A and B are shown apart, each in its own frame.
Chain A
């Protein structure tokens, strides 16, 4: 009963406070996509290169399991020493969160490409970098995009931690962490907005993944 009325109140809260939610959603999206962008630039080339050399499996798996175990709030606490509580602190913690799934998926995307295809490319005289860019990357693209999708959902949902870290302009997390000011329906409404951003992002990436795997499927 309580849940049902809470749910209805949350749905009413969204149109009533549309401008607040939009403003906060933009802040959350800015945090999450900045972190995701940095993590992509750091982790994907490294993972692709390690996968191409078929080396560093333990490194890729090790970072992934330690990364999953890191309590994000403790990471933010550690970086307070250098960055204070603010945009770059939360972004750094989110980058650290996003790197492991990106690194492992980039590794396995390239590592799992058919060795015969790579050998054939080498036989045709392609250089290592060309093999990576023209053979392995296109063939491994669906798996890489799957990794990006997982990391994106993870980062968007966790970006709300800015709210408990007490960041100014902390996005939807501020609403979620403060039911006294924003009421419980407000908290639930903000959570729905986070889920909407995450699901939309996941949908776009899933469509890209679908397109990539169709393009790469052998033609009949």
Chain B
């Protein structure tokens, strides 16, 4: 690994731990190292990653929801927002992290702003598609039942959009976990930190595999939780 790092928090002495045969031969996965460094390397990184995830996805969801409401109300804004999102998604994440560095400094904000931007691209179109996908005959019967515009939105349109919204939320969550590992190139934080440390000394396999595996497990776990949440939010879809 070569390259420039703003915050080099990596250890100077390679953290191989005690020299078991497994570590000396740099095997793919040494459980002893993972046990030994769970509390000082892996667990903090995992918790930092979860923190990044929660902030980015919740703020991203709130902004997406507001944008989708505006675009739902004023239809002509939809394509404008969509085009902006497409452009943003084409910018590489590393560039966004690097550009923000002189502005927001070596802080969590620098990592979180690009992550939020990427969640918008996924969540916003899904909310809008979900709201617009409600069949006209359903809206017609809601009006027939005497619901006001506001009641129709909260009781009919929004609940029916839940599956599409949740689909967007799941994709955004999983991709945010993956993109956030890249951020550690610029700021030593989250599960990317052990991955980049492992690559720097040079290619310490156990730490690399442990960091990567934790990121994948976190993504699959978060995805499963959201799938359960979706089931809980749409009880009608189970009655068939």
Contacts A80-B203, A160-B94 given; indicate if A184 touches B99 (C-beta within 8 A). Answer: yes
The number of A-B residue pairs with CB atoms under 8 Å apart is: 138
A residues in contact with B177, CB < 8 Å: 69
A99 at the interface (CB under 8 A from B): no
Contacts A80-B203, A157-B92 given; indicate if A184 touches B98 (C-beta within 8 A). Answer: yes
Secondary structure at the B interface, as helix, strand, loop or mixed, is helix
> Once the chains bind, are A188 and B99 in contact (CB under 8 Å)?
yes
Interface size class of A (residues with CB under 8 A): 35 or more
> Once the chains bind, are A71 and B199 in contact (CB under 8 Å)?
no
> Once the chains bind, are A71 and B178 in contact (CB under 8 Å)?
yes
Q: Within the complex, what minimum Cβ distance (angstroms) separates B79 from chain A?
A: 13
Q: Within the complex, what minimum Cβ distance (angstroms) separates B175 from chain A?
A: 6
> Once the chains bind, are B195 and A77 in contact (CB under 8 Å)?
yes
Interface size class of B (residues with CB under 8 A): 35 or more
A164 at the interface (CB under 8 A from B): yes
Please measure, in the bound complex, the distance between the C-alpha atom of A153 and the C-alpha atom of B86, giving whole angstroms: 10
B13 at the interface (CB under 8 A from A): no
Please measure, in the bound complex, the distance between the C-alpha atom of A79 and the C-alpha atom of B84, giving whole angstroms: 35
Please measure, in the bound complex, the distance between the C-alpha atom of A188 and the C-alpha atom of B101, giving whole angstroms: 12
B residues in contact with A187, CB < 8 Å: 95, 98-99
Please measure, in the bound complex, the distance between the C-alpha atom of A99 and the C-alpha atom of B230, giving whole angstroms: 27
> Once the chains bind, are A190 and B90 in contact (CB under 8 Å)?
no
Q: Within the complex, what minimum Cβ distance (angstroms) separates B186 from chain A?
A: 9
B171 at the interface (CB under 8 A from A): yes
A residues in contact with B181, CB < 8 Å: 71, 73-74
Interface pairs (10), CB distance under 8 Å: A2-B102, A2-B103, A3-B103, A69-B219, A70-B178, A74-B211, A74-B212, A157-B93, A177-B98, A195-B91
> Once the chains bind, are A78 and B208 in contact (CB under 8 Å)?
yes
Please measure, in the bound complex, the distance between the C-alpha atom of A187 and the C-alpha atom of B216, giving whole angstroms: 30
The residue among B91, B102, B185, B198 with the most chain A CB atoms within 10 A of its own CB is B91
Contacts A73-B182, A77-B212, A180-B4 given; indicate if A173 touches B196 (C-beta within 8 A). Answer: no
Please measure, in the bound complex, the distance between the C-alpha atom of A195 and the C-alpha atom of B94, giving whole angstroms: 13
A residues in contact with B3, CB < 8 Å: 163-164, 166, 177-178
Contacts A2-B102, A187-B98 given; indicate if A68 touches B174 (C-beta within 8 A). Answer: yes
A residues in contact with B108, CB < 8 Å: none
Q: Within the complex, what minimum Cβ distance (angstroms) separates A32 from chain B?
A: 11
Please measure, in the bound complex, the distance between the C-alpha atom of A180 and the C-alpha atom of B191, giving whole angstroms: 25
A153-179: CB near B (< 8 Å → 1, else 0) gives: 100111011011110000011001111
A6 at the interface (CB under 8 A from B): yes
B residues in contact with A198, CB < 8 Å: 90
Please measure, in the bound complex, the distance between the C-alpha atom of A165 and the C-alpha atom of B208, giving whole angstroms: 14
Q: Within the complex, what minimum Cβ distance (angstroms) separates A193 from chain B?
A: 10
Which of B2, B87, B212 is the one whose CB lies under 8 Å from A71? B212
Please measure, in the bound complex, the distance between the C-alpha atom of A3 and the C-alpha atom of B209, giving whole angstroms: 38
Q: Within the complex, what minimum Cβ distance (angstroms) separates B28 from chain A?
A: 8
